[in-house]
Amino acid sequence: MPVSALGPFRPPFGRSHEVSPEPLTSYHTPVYLIALKMLIGNRGKFFAMLFGVALTALIITQQSSIFIGLMSRTVGFIFDTPQPDLWVMDPKVQFVDDIKPLQDTKLFQVRGVEGVEWAVPLYKGQLRARLSNGTFQTCNVIGLDDASLVAGPPTMVQGSVADLRRADGVIVDEAAANGKLAKPGPTPDSPKIPLKVGDTLELNDNRAIVVGIARATRTFQSQPIVYTTYSRAMRFAPRERKLLSFVLAKVRPGEDVHTVAARLAQQTGLSAYTGQEFKGITIRYFMKNTGIPINFGMAVGLGFLVGVAIVGQTFFSFVVDNMRYLGILKAMGASNRLLFLMILLQTSLVGVIGCCLGMGLASLTSIISKNSELAFYMPWQVPVVTALATALITLITATFSLRKVLTLEPGIVFRG
Amino acid sequence: MSAAIVCRDVTKSYLTGKTVTPALRGVNLEVSEGELFMLVGPSGCGKTTLISVIAGILNHDGGECRIFGRDPNEMSDEERTAYRGKTVGFVFQAYNLIPTLTTAENVSIPLLLNGIERAPALERAEEMLVKVGLKEKLRTLPSELSGGQQQRVAIARALAHNPRLIVCDEPTSALDHTTGGEIMEIFRHEALSGNRTLVIVTHDSRIFHFADRIAVMDDGQIVQVANSPAELSFGSNKEPSKHA
C-alpha cells in the first residue's frame, strides 16, 4: 500500500478510526458562522432582503403609529382632563364631540347623588371666531366652571388658567395661536404673526381677549381650542334652552367609582363614565363608524404582504442560489435540522437588522413630526407588533425555503 | 486485507413520471481497505449512481452494499447522515467550495459538522492545506484560486476529518494533464495513507495508471475489472466505449 511522503495521518482529535454512525446531534456555534458568512458574503441579496424587511417594518410601524395617533386625538380632550372621576352626560352621547346638551338643573341632580364629592358644569361646543383679517375660523370652545376652573388646559405657555377670571378672557391653544388663529402679516407674502396675550378675538360677535396661551393635546378635527369660563361660554354661545354639555364629578374618597356611576345613572337618568370608559366609547365609535381602521389596516396589511413578497422572493432565490452548497453540507453530514436552523438563523439576522432599521426610521419620523399636524404616536405595543410581524415574515420565508432544502437530493453535488 | 466495500447484486432504478429507468442492474463489487479503485465507463452507465449508493447518498433498491460491514440502507436517516459525516470524504468535479468562505474555512466544514470547535478545526484545516501544497493560500477565497488549487482545497476538505472512505467524481476532468497528474499524486501520497480507501469515478484515461484496480461499467453493470490500464479491453489511451 502506498505510504504518505509526509507520514501517515493521525486520527484527528483522538477520534477513533472506526465506523461510528451514531447521529450527529449537537453542533457548535462555528457551524452557524458558516451560515452567516454564506448570507453576508452574498451582499446584493443580503441588502435586498434587509431593504425588504426594513421597508415592511417602517410601513407597519409608521401606519400603526399614525392610526394610534389619530385615535388618540379623538380622545385628546378627555386625556387633558384627568381631574374628574366621572363624566356625566346624556345617555345618547356616542363620543366626546357628540354633544347632547343637558338642562342646567341636571348639575344639581348630580350634586345631590350620594357619593359625589363635587360636580361642575362643562360647556363644549363649536363657535365661529372672526379673525382680524375678516375671515372666520370654527373653534372648539371649552367653558370651565367659573369657581374651580376644572378641566382647564394641562400646560400653560403664557399666562395662567386663573387669568380666565379677567374680563372677556380666553386661553388659546399654542398650535392655533401660531397657525389657524394667527394674524396675517403686513404684506400678503409675509409670515403670519402668532396670537399673543392681549390680542383680541371676536367669538360669535362677542369680544374676547387672549389672556393665556396653552399647550393642549391636538384633537381629531385639529380645530383651535379656546378655553373660557362656563358663564362666558354661555354668553358666547347662541341662545339655546339647553347648553350644559357634560357634568364632571368627583367621587368621595372611599366610594367605589362604578357604584357611584350606577347610582348616578339610576337617580338622574344620565350616563356616567370614567375617563377611561369614555375614551373607550369614543375610540370604538370612530373604529366602527369611520373608514379609518380599514384604511390603515389595509396599509399595514399591504406593508406585511410587501415584506413577505420581497423578503420571501429574495431569500428563496438566495436559497436556490445556494442549493448546491446546502447539498454539499447535506452530503458531508449536515442534518435537515441543522440546515433548517442555519436558514432560520439567516432569516432571523435579516429580520432583526431590518426590523431595527425600519423601526429606527419610523422613530426618526416621530421625532421630526413632533408638535406637527402629523398624528404620530408610538406606544411600546407598536414595536412589539412590528417585531412579531417581522418574525412571522422570516418564519414564513424560512419555512418556504426549508421545503426546498428538505426535498434537496444530496446527489445534486455530483451534477457538474 | 479486509474488504472496505462489498456490493452484491445491487440494483437501483429511477422513476421518471411513469417510466422506470434502471441505473444499476445487479452490480457486484469488492474494494479492499487502502485500495485506490477506479470506476470507468461511458456516460449514463451508472458510475455516479453507484458511488452515491456507496456514499450513503442514495438508497439502492435491491441486493446489499456493505461499507465497512454496514449497509447504509439499513441505517436510519440520522445514522446515514452521521455515516456520511464521519466515514466518507467527497471530492467533486466542480470542486464545490463555498465561495464566501476562505480555503481554511472550507476545509474546516467537515470538522465543524463533526462537532470540532472552530480553533482546532481551522488549525487542522491549515495543516491539511499545507500538506496539499497551499501554504500560501490559507486565507484566500476560492474565486482567487486556479482550478487545480481549488481541487487541492477540495481534497484537503475530503481528508480533514480523516474519513475511511473517499469518493471522487471526475476529480481531474476539469484540469489540464499536468495539474491532473499533480492531483493524482496527492491522492496517492496523502489520501491513501492510513489504510484509507478511494473510489474514483472518471472518464480521464490519463490517470488510469494511478489506480490499483479499474472497474469498467456499462449499462448498469460492471463488465470488467482490470489490475492495470493495459488489461482494459479498450486500452489505456482511449475513452471507454459503451461496448468495452
For B122, nearest residue in chain A (alpha carbons)? A30
pTM reported for the whole predicted model: 0.72
Cβ within 8 Å, pair A325-B110: no
- What DSSP line would sit under chain B, residue for residue? --EEEEEEEEEEEEEETTEEEEEEEEEEEEEETT-EEEEE--TTSSHHHHHHHHTTSS--SEEEEEETTB-GGGS-HHHHHHHHHHHEEEE-TT----TTS-HHHHHHHHHHHTT--HHHHHHHHHHHHHHTT-GGGTT--GGGS-HHHHHHHHHHHHHHT--SEEEEESTTTTS-HHHHHHHHHHIIIIITGGG-EEEEE---GGGGGG-SEEEEEETTEEEEEESSGGGSTT-SSSPPPTT-
- Alpha-carbon gap, residue B84 to A335, rounded angstroms: 10
Residues from chain A contacting residue B110 (CB–CB below 8 Å): 332-333
Residues 8-37 of A with CB under 8 A from B: 8-13, 15, 17, 19-31, 33-34, 37
Residues from chain A contacting residue B161 (CB–CB below 8 Å): 12
* Confidence at residue A233, expressed as pLDDT on a 0 to 100 scale: 93
- Residue bearing cell 442492474: B25
Q: What are phi and psi of A123, to 5 degrees?
A: -105, 135
- Alpha-carbon gap, residue A37 to B81, rounded angstroms: 23
- Residues A310-334 pLDDT 10s: 877 888 888 888 888 888 888 888 8
Complex ipTM more than 0.90, yes or no: no
For A5, nearest residue in chain B (alpha carbons)? B189
* Confidence at residue A240, expressed as pLDDT on a 0 to 100 scale: 81
Q: Is A313 exposed, middle or buried (CB count within 10 Å of its CB: 0-12, 13-18, 19+)?
A: middle
* Closest Cβ–Cβ partner in A1, A26, A413 for B96: A413
Amino acid at A192: K
* Confidence at residue A213, expressed as pLDDT on a 0 to 100 scale: 94
Find out whether B109 and A329 touch, Cβ atoms under 8 Å.
yes
Residues from chain B contacting residue A40 (CB–CB below 8 Å): 100
Find out whether A23 and A310 touch, Cβ atoms under 8 Å.
no
* Confidence at residue B243, expressed as pLDDT on a 0 to 100 scale: 34
The CA distance from A75 to the nearest CA of chain B, in Å, is 55
Residues from chain A contacting residue B109 (CB–CB below 8 Å): 34, 329, 332
- Name every residue whose Cβ is closer than 8 Å to that of residue B37 and which is 6 or more positions away in sequence: B31, B197, B198, B199, B200, B211, B212, B213, B214, B215
- Alpha-carbon gap, residue B236 to B244, rounded angstroms: 12
> Residue B203 CB: number of other CB atoms within 10 A?
16
Find out whether B142 and B97 touch, Cβ atoms under 8 Å.
yes
The C-alpha angle with vertex B154 and arms to B153 and B160, in degrees rounded to 5, equals 85
Amino acid at A288: K
- Alpha-carbon gap, residue B206 to B180, rounded angstroms: 8
Residues 70-109 of B with CB under 8 A from A: 70, 75-76, 78-87, 90, 92-94, 96, 98-101, 105, 108-109
The CA distance from A277 to the nearest CA of chain B, in Å, is 59
Cβ within 8 Å, pair A12-B111: yes
Residues from chain A contacting residue B85 (CB–CB below 8 Å): 24, 332-334
Interface test with B, best of A3, A19, A405 (most B CBs within 10 A): A19
The CA distance from A51 to the nearest CA of chain B, in Å, is 21
Residue B224 has, within 13 A of its CA and on its CB side, a CA count of 20
Instruction: Spell out, as residue ranges, where chain A has pLDDT lower than 70.
Output: 1-29, 409-411, 415-416
Cβ within 8 Å, pair B110-A17: no
Instruction: Spell out, as residue ranges, where chain B has pLDDT lower than 70.
Output: 1, 234-244
- What DSSP line would sit under A158-184, residue for residue? ES-GGGGGSTTEEEEEHHHHHTTTPBP
- Alpha-carbon gap, residue A122 to B20, rounded angstroms: 88
Residues 166-185 of B with CB under 8 A from A: 169-170
- Residue bearing cell 347632547: A100
- Alpha-carbon gap, residue B126 to B132, rounded angstroms: 10
B173: left (phi over 0), alpha (psi -120 to 50) or beta: alpha
Residue A214 carries which DSSP code?
Answer: E
The CA distance from A20 to the nearest CA of chain B, in Å, is 7
- Alpha-carbon gap, residue B29 to B7, rounded angstroms: 5
Cβ within 8 Å, pair B57-A410: yes
- Alpha-carbon gap, residue A352 to A180, rounded angstroms: 43
What's the sign of the alpha-carbon dihedral A348, A349, A354, A356? positive
- Alpha-carbon gap, residue A174 to A181, rounded angstroms: 10
- Alpha-carbon gap, residue A120 to B36, rounded angstroms: 101
- Structural domains of chain B ordered from first start: 3-231 (3.40.50.300)
* Confidence at residue B234, expressed as pLDDT on a 0 to 100 scale: 60
* Closest Cβ–Cβ partner in A23, A31, A33 for B79: A23
> Residue A246 CB: number of other CB atoms within 10 A?
28
- Alpha-carbon gap, residue A49 to A39, rounded angstroms: 10
User: Is A38 an 8 Å CB contact of chain B?
Assistant: yes
Cβ within 8 Å, pair B96-A324: yes
> Residue B36 CB: number of other CB atoms within 10 A?
24
- What DSSP line would sit under B160-213, residue for residue? HT--SEEEEESTTTTS-HHHHHHHHHHIIIIITGGG-EEEEE---GGGGGG-SE
Q: Is A32 exposed, middle or buried (CB count within 10 Å of its CB: 0-12, 13-18, 19+)?
A: middle
Q: What are phi and psi of A208, to 5 degrees?
A: -135, 140
Rg for chain A (alpha carbons), in Å? Answer: 33
Residues from chain B contacting residue A29 (CB–CB below 8 Å): 118
* Confidence at residue B217, expressed as pLDDT on a 0 to 100 scale: 94
Interface test with A, best of B24, B81, B97, B103 (most A CBs within 10 A): B81
The CA distance from B154 to the nearest CA of chain A, in Å, is 11
Cβ within 8 Å, pair B118-A28: yes
Cell of A379: 406606544
* Confidence at residue A416, expressed as pLDDT on a 0 to 100 scale: 55
* Closest Cβ–Cβ partner in A28, A33, A333 for B84: A333
